[in-house]
Amino acid sequence: MKKKYLVLSGIIIPLILSSCSEETKPLPSQPVNEVSVSAADQEFSVRDIFAMDTFMTLKAYGEGRDKALGEAAVKITELEKLLSVTDEKSEVWMIDHAAGKTVTVSKETSEIISFMLSAAEKTNGALDPSVYPVVREWGFTTGNYRIPDDDTVSELLEMTGYRKITVSENSVTVPDGMLIDLGAAAKGYTGDVLAGIFKKNNIGSAVVSLGGNVQAVGSKPDGSDWKVSIRDPFDENGQVCIVSVSDKAVVTSGNYERFFTGEDGKRYCHIIDPSTGHPADNGLASVTVISESGILCDCLSTAMFVKGKDGAEKYWKENGGFDMIIVTSDGEVFVTEGIAGKTEMTGGKTMTVLK
């Protein structure tokens, strides 16, 4: 039987590195992964949305799917309004401009901050929502990229530190001068919320791709797993492998998403190592994290990217609760044992299974 494939989020946006002014926001980062969906007999609906600086594709099967997709689209807009670090009406903006005063925020915002703070603690600060001043200094928020001098980086690092942030129920306090950004977790959290909306609407089969962060709801209508293609960090049209999942999030952090090449010829990527104030450079090209929780995947893909292969492997062995696919800068691929049987290498590389 001839199979028909529909590719979601297949748009690759080329990065323009030098032509943005200080005020201009950079173009959206490159989508990471794609989902191939074999078109079954069942009817489906698709929604394409641009939000949170990225292209999103939502696809749902079954009765009630249009209502569910409508609710999902409204929720994305609501979350974007709460979480944007640049929108002067967002709750994150309120927190960042409260001059150290305690701010009362929604359940959603406080939930994400609490989750990030605990992930920051567990990852020993590899994830740190307060690293934003450093991210901004390198130009990743505007596209006006530059390599700051060591004194500037040291001064800015003084203004970071997740342990100085407090959350109690819906109250958040960030010391004066510090700034938080939830960008490393917001899309993962959004995926979880969307999955909840589909389930509440009795949609047993849906898949969302939020700039390549994939959240699979249930399985495909024929009961088989969703197939998620993991992008080859070295080839924007290539894939490293295909991973088969049901009811799981698949989230990648990679050095090809948003980056610039310095005059020294080095690639500087948008994920900052909070211990150095420099873009993470621990030998990785991408880390994909797979688990039931979108927010966990999002936090951990960022943190594991910072930690590098050995640090990520150690963290996985000590904590568990997730799987990962690591692609190193020299093209080696490491896959944790829980997902290895569901991972098909397609790009000519071989995998080493982590146990």
CB atoms near residue 299 (< 10 Å): 29
Distant-in-sequence, close-in-space partners of 338: CB < 8 Å, separation ≥ 6: 323
The residue type of 287 is: V
Site string for ligand AMP, 306-335 (x = CB under 6 A): x-----------------------------
Binding characters for Mg ion, 146-185, by CB under 5 A (x = yes) = --------------------------------------x-
Determine contact, residues 301/270, Cβ cutoff 8 Å.
Answer: no
Asked whether position 274 contacts ligand AMP by CB under 6 A, the answer is: yes
Can you tell me the distance from the alpha carbon of 230 to that of 32, in angstroms, rounded to the nearest whole number? 7
Q: Which residues from 228-257 bind ligand AMP, rule CB under 6 A?
A: 253
How many residues touch Mg ion (CB under 5 A)? 4
The phi and psi torsions of 230 (rounded to 5 degrees) equal -95, 120
Binding mask 161-180 for ligand AMP (x = CB under 6 A): --------------------
Q: Choosing among Mg ion, ligand AMP, none, which partner's interface includes residue 209 (Cβ < 5 to 8 Å by kind)? A: none
When binding is defined by CB under 5 A, the residue of 302, 309, 322, 327 that contacts Mg ion is 302
Smallest gap from Cβ 213 to Mg ion, in A, equals 8
For the CB of residue 39, give the shortest distance to ligand AMP in the complex, in Å. 31
- Spell out, one character per residue from 180 to 209, where the chain touches ligand AMP: x when CB under 6 A holds, - when not: -x-xx-------------------------
Number of residues that bind ligand AMP (CB under 6 A): 18
Q: Which of 67, 92, 104, 126 is nearest to 312 (CA)?
A: 126
Both tokens of 96, joined, read 């960042």
Q: 307 φ, ψ to 5°?
A: -70, -30
Shortest distance, CB of residue 185 to Mg ion, whole angstroms? Answer: 6
Tokens representing residue 176 in the block: 């004066």
Smallest CA-to-CA distance from 285 within 226, 220, 349, 201 is with 349
Q: Name the binder of 272 from ligand AMP, Mg ion, none, CB < 5-8 A by kind.
A: ligand AMP
CA nearest 305: which of 5, 32, 90? Answer: 32
Choose between 57 and 302: whose C-beta lies nearer to ligand AMP: 302
Cα–Cα distances (Å) from 235 to 106, 126, 240, 261, 347, in that order, read: 41, 27, 9, 17, 10
Using DSSP, state whether 248 is helix, strand or coil: coil
**Residue 271 interacts with ligand AMP (CB under 6 A): yes or no:** yes
Which of 205, 193, 191, 192 lies closest to 64 in space, CA to CA?
Answer: 205
Q: Which is nearer to ligand AMP, 268 or 334 (CB)?
A: 268
Helix (H) or strand (E) holding 117: helix 107-122
Of residues 31, 129, 143, 212, which one binds ligand AMP by CB under 6 A? 129
CB-nearer residue toward ligand AMP: 272 or 325: 272
Q: Which two tokens stand for residue 94?
A: 């309120």
The interface with ligand AMP within residues 132-151 (CB under 6 A) comprises 135, 140
Looking at the Cβ atoms of 242 and 269, the one nearer to ligand AMP is: 269
Residue from 30, 298, 336, 343 binding ligand AMP (CB under 6 A): 298
User: Which of 53, 128, 273, 298 is the binder for Mg ion (CB under 5 A)?
Assistant: 298
Tokens of 301: 């893909």
Instruction: At 324, give phi and psi (nearest 5°).
Output: -150, 155
- The residues of the shown chain that bind ligand AMP, judged by CB under 6 A, are 127-129, 131, 135, 140, 181, 183-184, 253, 270-272, 274, 298, 301-302, 306
- The residues of the shown chain that bind Mg ion, judged by CB under 5 A, are 184, 298, 301-302
